[in-house]
Structure 1
Amino acid sequence: MGTRQDAAFEMVLALHRVLRSLRRAGPTGGLQPTQLIVLALLTEAGPSRIGVVADRVPCSQPTATAAVAELQTAGLVRREPDPTDGRAARVAVTEEGFAALRGVAHGEAAVLLERLGALPDEDAERVLTTAPLLRLLADGDRADGDRAGG
């Protein structure tokens, strides 16, 4: 790996593999990946319209609508009037939805901790200290959207 571009490419691939393997190994609570993403998005961003959910997931509006309908049937989200447009509705996470998302995240964290236990302590600590930096990188898309008027 010679360049910073190569290293970034390898990092993206590794992050995708880690997340997929944690999701496969951890408990899902019966939730599909898109449903988990929707719950996480609504937990972080707050109540949002379906179009915003679809844009941020990203997925088609029909896919977002189906995911929200299933989550609503399960009692994990609720629809509420949009305070800026009485004709529209927003989707919000319920306490049950927050608890379900938290349960999945705790399960995945337990799998991660188990895997970190197989590494030398110094390496495990280095991996864990990257969390704040990864969070900053993840939040960069929000800053980009804010600058673009989104």
Structure 2
Amino acid sequence: MPTTVTNHEALQLVVAVHRLVRSLRQAAPARRLQPTQLLVLSELSAHGPMRIGEIAVRALCSQPTATTVVTSLESTGLVRREPDAADGRATIVVLTEVGRETILSLAHGEAELLSERMSELSSEDREHLRSAMPILRHLADPQENK
């Protein structure tokens, strides 16, 4: 049994995960958001209001990209900027109620579709997926697991 993972094996997993996520997003009948927009909304939903710099770190993008994404989300009413109580010179980005409803709707739509797809798998394959979830969460965000 191999003890190391080859770059090819890792690439195959990356491609499979991307295809799965893309197919769920394309099939789910919900508001269309760009991947970085969705990631920013998800981070704000999970971690609360934050500065642009922190959004950039959490969304794994540059600060100018985070600023552009926040501006687009703000123009559609999904987020708003507020003065930072800790530093009057800075602003924080807050998820609006519309933004919260949007992220929940997207998540539920995608989860419902994935549930349907998973129900078509064998019970053994479903159990493999269940046991892989903590591992995938760890791979997705190794910093949170330290």
- TM-score bin (small chain): 0.7 to 0.9
CA–CA distance in structure 2, aligned partners of residues 106 and 141 of structure 1: 26
For 1:1-150, list aligned pairs within 5 A.
2-6=2-6, 8-143=10-145
Q: Provide the aligned C-alpha RMSD in A.
A: 2.3
Q: Which amino acid aligns with 1:92?
A: V
Once the two structures are TM-superposed, the CA of residue 132 in structure 1 deviates from its matched residue by 3.5
CA–CA distance in structure 1, aligned partners of residues 64 and 30 of structure 2: 23
Give percent identity, aligned residues only: 50
Deviations 1:72-109 (A, max 9, x none): 12221111221221100010111221110011111111
* Cα 1:143/1:114, change in 2 over 3 Å: closer
CA–CA distance in structure 2, aligned partners of residues 22 and 30 of structure 1: 12
In structure 1, stretches of 5+ residues that fail to align are 145-150
User: Is this contact kept in 1: 2:138–2:145, CA < 8 A?
Assistant: no
* Cα 1:124/1:8, change in 2 over 3 Å: same
Q: Which amino acid aligns with 2:127?
A: E
Deviations 1:39-63 (A, max 9, x none): 0111122211112212221223222
Once the two structures are TM-superposed, the CA of residue 128 in structure 1 deviates from its matched residue by 3.0
CA–CA distance in structure 2, aligned partners of residues 142 and 18 of structure 1: 24
Once the two structures are TM-superposed, the CA of residue 28 in structure 1 deviates from its matched residue by 4.0
TM-score (norm: length of structure 1): 0.80
In structure 2, stretches of 5+ residues that fail to align are none
